[in-house]
């Protein structure tokens, strides 16, 4: 889709949310502009001796509520607009989850699959050196996102700590348990999606048992969420990643697919099971299912394909997978969306718990983490639901309104606009 600008998408929803709440531009103008943006050139000497220079970004959209907080994406399509939108969505998401965090995001324009493990490590460390002037345990704390994982977070923690001269695990979240990660962080985003889905189904008096599900994206958010949704009793009939899309009307064996992908560089290529066929990515998105779980990238359901979508509920594990046009279309058609800024908040909630544990030097059990996560997600869901009912608006707009109300109160109390 040409001319898609995710930051404009965010501003559009923010403006409508403000209008509904009766705010003037003066009340929230500050939130329409990212606070700080850094663009860096990241050098890398490849294993063959050649030197390549990659573009990298870190955007701190807001530090109103606390440290900028948000992931790092390594992807060939990463650019300033994408990172800016993702950072702003983090501001909204963190306010909905009521965390003492602002919003940030970063990335490198690179296809990490073209790099060897040693090249990936050197690129990560060089990126940390470039963004070190603006990140910090109390200023800006990165985390994993698309194509970044616990190992990469571990290199970031190590590189930053070397620069700082002291072990600083709180500089980044999503680390391996052995280097200060939190139990439950790896599953947190998928688990949060399930909790949000369950909140929605309870309000609608619907039972997850035997509901059919199609899942786009089979990385951290997609595979963990699919597993938990299947465990809860739903039938996942389609899954797909950037390499292949699979369909089995009788339900796929998600546990087996999960193990396969984990052992296969997180890819479903080559996976097979009885009764399964391959389909196209668009066929996956337009399956006649109860739930379409989007867990890949932004701009997946848009003007071009929205009318072909047959799912009754859209669960947004990814950030920004549905454009404004599609959002309006689904609201009018009565298709419910459990929006990204609410549904995928579980990741940053447990990132916050990880950061708190790092600062305290005191670590929690998995039960404690999951119990707190569940409570937090339920509170967020309830706040959004109440807003939705009060103003008779779509869930995404209600979610933005919850966030905006909190952000405007804080802006006013702090005199942030003076």
Q: What are the catalytic residues?
A: 105
| Selected range binding ligand NAD among 52-60, 95-103, 216-224, 352-360, rule: CB under 6 A | 216-224
Q: Interface with ligand NAD includes 242 (CB under 6 A)?
A: yes
Q: Interface with ligand NAD includes 145 (CB under 6 A)?
A: yes
Query: Exactly one of 241, 327, 336, 354 binds ligand NAD (CB under 6 A); which one?
Result: 241
Q: Interface with ligand NAD includes 220 (CB under 6 A)?
A: yes
Q: Interface with ligand NAD includes 217 (CB under 6 A)?
A: yes
Contacts of 341 (CB under 8 A, 6+ apart): 89, 92, 93, 96, 396, 399, 400, 403
Task: Please report how close the Cβ of residue 153 comes to ligand NAD at its closest, in angstroms.
Answer: 11
* 20/191 with CB nearer ligand NAD: 191
Q: Interface with ligand NAD includes 218 (CB under 6 A)?
A: yes
Query: Exactly one of 31, 152, 221, 239 binds ligand NAD (CB under 6 A); which one?
Result: 221
| Selected range binding ligand NAD among 127-135, 294-302, 372-380, 405-413, rule: CB under 6 A | 294-302
Number of residues that make up the chain? 418
Q: Interface with ligand NAD includes 147 (CB under 6 A)?
A: yes
Could you count the other beta carbons within 10 Å of the beta carbon of residue 250?
Answer: 10
Residue 64 is classified by DSSP as S
Q: Interface with ligand NAD includes 281 (CB under 6 A)?
A: yes
Q: Which tokens go with 25?
A: 């531009």
Contacts of 43 (CB under 8 A, 6+ apart): 51, 52, 53, 54, 126
Size of the site for ligand NAD (CB under 6 A): 24
* 20/109 with CB nearer ligand NAD: 109
Question: What distance in Å separates the CA atoms of residue 166 and residue 261, rounded to the nearest whole number?
Answer: 37
* 104/219 with CB nearer ligand NAD: 219
Q: Interface with ligand NAD includes 295 (CB under 6 A)?
A: yes
Task: Please report how close the Cβ of residue 240 comes to ligand NAD at its closest, in angstroms.
Answer: 5
Q: Interface with ligand NAD includes 240 (CB under 6 A)?
A: yes
Task: Please report how close the Cβ of residue 148 comes to ligand NAD at its closest, in angstroms.
Answer: 7
Q: Give helix then strand counts, H and E, for the chain.
A: 14, 12
179 φ/ψ sector (left φ>0, alpha ψ -120 to 50, else beta): alpha
CA distances from 112 to 9, 46, 76, 141, 269 (A): 28, 12, 8, 22, 17
Q: Is 158 strand, coil or helix?
A: helix
Q: Is 270 strand, coil or helix?
A: coil
| Selected range binding ligand NAD among 12-20, 113-121, 198-206, 214-222, rule: CB under 6 A | 214-222
Tell me the residue ranges of DSSP E strands in 100-166: 103-108, 140-144
Question: What distance in Å separates the CA atoms of residue 220 and residue 142, rounded to the nearest whole number?
Answer: 16
Q: In what order do the strands lie in the sheet with 51-62?
A: 36-45, 51-62, 103-108, 68-74, 140-144
Q: Interface with ligand NAD includes 189 (CB under 6 A)?
A: yes
* 92/318 with CB nearer ligand NAD: 318
| Selected range binding ligand NAD among 151-159, 238-246, 303-311, 366-374, rule: CB under 6 A | 238-246
Q: Which tokens go with 222?
A: 């997609």
Residue bearing tokens 């930051």: 7
Contacts of 379 (CB under 8 A, 6+ apart): 98
Q: What character string, x for contact with ligand NAD (CB under 6 A) and - otherwise, covers 340-359?
A: ----x--x------------
Query: Exactly one of 31, 297, 326, 369 binds ligand NAD (CB under 6 A); which one?
Result: 297
The binding site for ligand NAD (CB under 6 A) comprises 144-147, 189, 216-222, 240-242, 281, 295-297, 317-319, 344, 347
């Amino acid at each position: 889709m040409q001319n898609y600008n995710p930051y404009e998408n965010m501003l559009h929803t923010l403006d409508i949310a403000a209008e509904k709440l009766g705010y003037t531009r003066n009340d929230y103008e500050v939130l329409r502009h990212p606070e700080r943006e850094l663009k860096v050139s990241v050098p890398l000497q490849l294993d063959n001796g050649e030197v390549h220079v990659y573009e990298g970004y870190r955007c701190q959209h807001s530090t109103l509520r606390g440290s900028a907080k948000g992931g790092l994406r390594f992807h060939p399509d990463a650019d300033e607009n994408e990172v800016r939108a993702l950072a702003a969505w983090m501001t909204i998401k963190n306010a909905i989850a009521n965390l003492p965090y602002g919003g940030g995001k970063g990335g490198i324009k690179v296809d990490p699959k073209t790099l060897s493990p040693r090249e990936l490590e050197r690129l990560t460390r060089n990126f940390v050196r470039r963004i070190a002037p603006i990140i910090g345990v109390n200023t800006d704390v990165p985390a994993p996102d698309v194509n970044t994982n616990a190992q990469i977070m571990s290199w970031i923690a190590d590189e930053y700590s070397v620069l700082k001269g002291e072990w600083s695990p709180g500089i980044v979240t999503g680390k391996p348990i052995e280097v200060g990660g939190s139990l439950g962080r790896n599953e947190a985003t998928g688990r949060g999606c399930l909790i949000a889905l369950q909140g929605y189904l309870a309000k609608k008096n619907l039972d997850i048992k035997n509901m059919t599900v199609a899942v786009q994206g089979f990385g951290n958010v997609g595979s963990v969420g699919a597993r938990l949704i299947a465990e809860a009793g739903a039938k996942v009939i389609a899954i797909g990643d950037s390499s292949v899309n699979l369909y089995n009307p009788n339900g796929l064996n998600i546990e087996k697919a999960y193990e396969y992908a984990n052992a296969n560089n997180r890819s479903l290529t080559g996976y097979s099971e009885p009764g399964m066929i391959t389909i196209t990515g668009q066929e996956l998105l337009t399956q006649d299912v109860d739930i379409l779980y989007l867990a890949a990238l932004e701009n997946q359901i848009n003007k071009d394909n929205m009318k072909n979508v047959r799912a009754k509920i859209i669960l947004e594990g990814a950030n920004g997978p549905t454009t404004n046009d599609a959002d309006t279309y689904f609201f009018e058609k009565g298709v419910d969306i459990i929006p990204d800024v609410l549904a995928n908040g579980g990741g940053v909630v447990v990132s916050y718990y990880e950061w708190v544990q790092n600062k305290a030097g005191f670590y929690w059990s998995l039960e404690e983490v999951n119990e707190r996560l569940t409570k937090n997600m339920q509170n967020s869901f309830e706040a959004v639901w109440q807003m939705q009912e009060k103003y008779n608006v779509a869930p995404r707009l209600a979610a933005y309104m919850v966030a905006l109300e909190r952000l405007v109160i804080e802006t006013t109390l702090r005199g942030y606009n003076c």
